[in-house]
């Protein structure tokens, strides 16, 4: 198969939602239908000792939440599907926002009972800024929940989407009988045991077909007919171009825990979802069909396999063909690099790949060469745009709780900071170390991982800090004056850059006014 055919086969998407909407369960069921796994895990069940395939870190298994993005790949109906299952919890949003730079489309999961929630709104806003095509999956139809039309109103009102229902529920909760697949004109009957057989799918030419009453009862059949009539009058028909531009959002209904409605969405998704899209750099737009290889690092994960202490950089391939054991140009470091064992992902299972194409996500073993946002090319100087970094808003002193493990603690902190989910600041006047994060739950994750992956123990102390801002200046004498007056608030980050830690918004504004020759940046990535 030629390169162009390989690229056209790729579908790379992220799954996003508020916590507990069923995102990881949906990911599992997509993998089941794709034949990538044989049995699904139960994320929170203590009775079942299997766990969700995409939650591979111990702390994720214990808490039943995703705290890191997982990458999984499988083949389905002649297409190569790359799923990025992202954390839903707002404390891990930074990881999710970066991951969304590496996808070409997204599936938004909504809980039928809770409707559109805060974190879903935030994540959808990020997708909309990039015009990312999005499909909505309304989950947990086997439970009592909100009326379908009320949910469509929320999707349009809160998420500012243009809803286009492509399936519709027949009843809900205890009355739930199945969904009508508007996209394919099929009646799909619900089996609560999750064994969805082909016999449960009935092709009906018209909703007036008497088989509808026979299968769902007279009352529900009549309800479905009137609701579909209303949908046809009120909501736009599916239009491929509008979807590609992020202006129209197909909506599907189902119950991921019961495998229900997932296949219908997946069948539609592989048909309509975009192939790998162009990527914007500061220099030019990268077309996926270009001959020369380009890619960027959007995530780094330490201890992917704790037994081997490996650190992996996640690389999104944007153009050309990536080939194993080939020299490529690391743009930031201005040096050649060769990768002997690039890997493809199936959650924590990895396999060496000889070549990979635009849309694919591969793992590169990393000994400290990479930072988030790094570009790899065949020689061209490129800097990919839109990879976010955030100023921390939560701060704590970190202390060594086991003096015999100082080296392990230092190594652990260094590697975990490279993942980009937290930042380290070393105070100039005291040498004390401060960890800064976007969300408070990150502190628990860092503490847990230091102990279980590095054998080091830490404790935290509260500190009154409002914001970290990075400092630049042109006049050395002005900086010396600033430094002498504000030394107690000045630190260096892991890369030896100057940082000002302010106690409040008022104090930060005061310092800016007092020292107009010092520039303050909310991100360490500045020009």
The answer to whether residue 98 scores a pLDDT higher than 50 is yes
Q: What are phi and psi of 410, to 5 degrees?
A: -60, -45
The answer to whether residue 202 scores a pLDDT higher than 80 is no
Give the CATH number of the domain where residue 473 resides: 3.30.70.3280
The answer to whether residue 148 scores a pLDDT higher than 80 is yes
Q: Are residues 419 and 369 in the same domain?
A: no
Pick the last residue of a domain from 256, 272, 288. Answer: 272
Q: Which domain holds residue 497?
A: 394-521
Higher per-residue confidence, 513 vs 31: 513
β-strand pairing of 279-280 with 10-17: unpaired
Q: Are residues 117 and 221 in the same domain?
A: yes
Q: Are residues 244 and 311 in the same domain?
A: no
Pick the last residue of a domain from 222, 238, 272. Answer: 272
Pick the last residue of a domain from 215, 238, 272. Answer: 272
382 in a structural domain: no
| The two three-digit tokens of residue 53, written as one number | 């395939």
Q: Are residues 369 and 238 in the same domain?
A: no
Q: Are residues 351 and 458 in the same domain?
A: no
Q: What is the pLDDT of residues 242-287, one digit of tens each?
A: 999 999 999 999 998 888 888 889 999 999 999 999 999 999 999 9
Q: Are residues 488 and 456 in the same domain?
A: yes
Alpha carbon 322 to chain centroid distance?
23
The answer to whether residue 110 scores a pLDDT higher than 80 is yes
The domain tally of the chain equals 3
The answer to whether residue 497 scores a pLDDT higher than 80 is yes
Task: State the pLDDT confidence band at 94, using cuts at 50, 70 and 90.
Answer: low
The answer to whether residue 27 scores a pLDDT higher than 50 is yes
CA terminus-to-terminus distance, the chain: 43
Q: Of 525, 308, 281, nearest to 383 (Cα)?
A: 281
Give the CATH number of the domain where residue 175 resides: 3.40.50.300
Q: Are residues 63 and 210 in the same domain?
A: yes
E strands, 77-221, where? 79-85, 105-111, 134-139, 163-165, 167-170, 178-181, 186-189, 201-203
62 in a structural domain: yes
Cβ neighbours, 10 Å, residue 453? 18
Q: Are residues 33 and 171 in the same domain?
A: yes
Handedness of CA 124, 125, 126, 130 (dihedral sign): positive
What residues does 520 pair with on adjacent strands? 471
131 in a structural domain: yes
- pTM (two decimals): 0.77
């Amino acid at each position: 198969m030629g390169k162009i055919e390989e690229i056209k086969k790729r579908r790379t998407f992220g799954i996003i939602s508020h916590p507990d909407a069923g995102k990881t369960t949906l990911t599992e069921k997509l993998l089941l239908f794709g034949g990538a796994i044989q049995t699904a895990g139960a994320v929170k069940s203590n009775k079942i000792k299997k766990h969700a395939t995409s939650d591979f870190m111990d702390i994720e298994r214990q808490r039943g939440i995703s705290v890191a993005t997982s990458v999984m790949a499988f083949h389905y109906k002649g297409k190569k599907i790359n799923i990025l299952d992202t954390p839903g919890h707002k404390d891990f949003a930074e990881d999710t926002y970066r991951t969304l730079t590496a996808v070409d489309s997204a599936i938004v999961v909504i809980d039928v009972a809770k409707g559109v929630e805060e974190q879903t709104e935030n994540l959808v806003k990020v997708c909309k800024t990039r015009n990312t095509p999005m499909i909505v999956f309304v989950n947990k139809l086997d439970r009592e929940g909100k009326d379908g039309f009320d949910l469509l109103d929320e999707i349009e009102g809160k998420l500012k989407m243009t809803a286009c229902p492509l399936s519709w529920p027949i009843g809900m909760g205890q009355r739930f009988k199945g969904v009508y697949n508007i996209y394919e004109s099929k009646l799909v009957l619900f089996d609560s045991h999750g064994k969805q057989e082909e016999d449960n799918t009935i092709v009906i030419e018209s909703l007036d077909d008497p088989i509808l009453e026979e299968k769902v009862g007279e009352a529900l059949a009549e309800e479905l007919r009137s609701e579909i009539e209303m949908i046809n009058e009120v909501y736009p028909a599916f239009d491929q171009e509008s979807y590609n531009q992020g202006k129209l959002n197909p909506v599907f209904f189902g119950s991921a825990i019961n495998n229900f409605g997932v296949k219908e969405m997946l069948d539609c998704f592989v048909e309509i979802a975009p192939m790998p899209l162009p990527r914007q750099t500061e220099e030019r737009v990268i077309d996926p069909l270009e001959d020369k290889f380009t890619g960027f690092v959007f995530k780094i994960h330490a201890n992917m396999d704790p037994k081997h202490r490996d650190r992996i950089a996640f690389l999104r391939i944007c153009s050309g063909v990536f080939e194993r054991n080939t020299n490529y140009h690391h743009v930031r470091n201005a040096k050649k690099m060769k990768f002997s064992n690039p890997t493809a992902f199936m959650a924590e299972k990895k396999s060496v790949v000889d070549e990979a194409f635009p849309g694919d996500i591969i793992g590169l073993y990393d000994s400290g060469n990479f930072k988030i946002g790094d570009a790899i090319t065949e020689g061209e100087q490129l800097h990919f745009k839109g990879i976010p970094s955030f100023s921390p808003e939560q701060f704590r002193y970190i202390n060594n709780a086991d003096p015999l493990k100082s080296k392990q603690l230092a190594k652990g902190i260094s590697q975990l900071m490279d993942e980009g989910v937290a930042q380290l600041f070393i105070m100039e006047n005291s040498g004390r170390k401060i960890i800064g994060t976007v969300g408070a739950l990150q502190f628990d994750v860092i503490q847990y991982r230091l102990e279980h992956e590095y054998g080091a123990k830490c404790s935290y102390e509260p500190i009154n800090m409002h914001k970290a801002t990075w400092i630049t200046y042109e006049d050395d004498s002005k900086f010396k004056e600033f430094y002498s007056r504000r030394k107690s608030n000045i630190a260096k980050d892991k890369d030896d850059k100057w940082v000002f830690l302010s106690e409040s918004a008022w104090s930060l504004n005061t310092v800016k006014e007092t020292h107009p020759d010092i520039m303050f940046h909310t991100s360490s990535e500045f020009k």
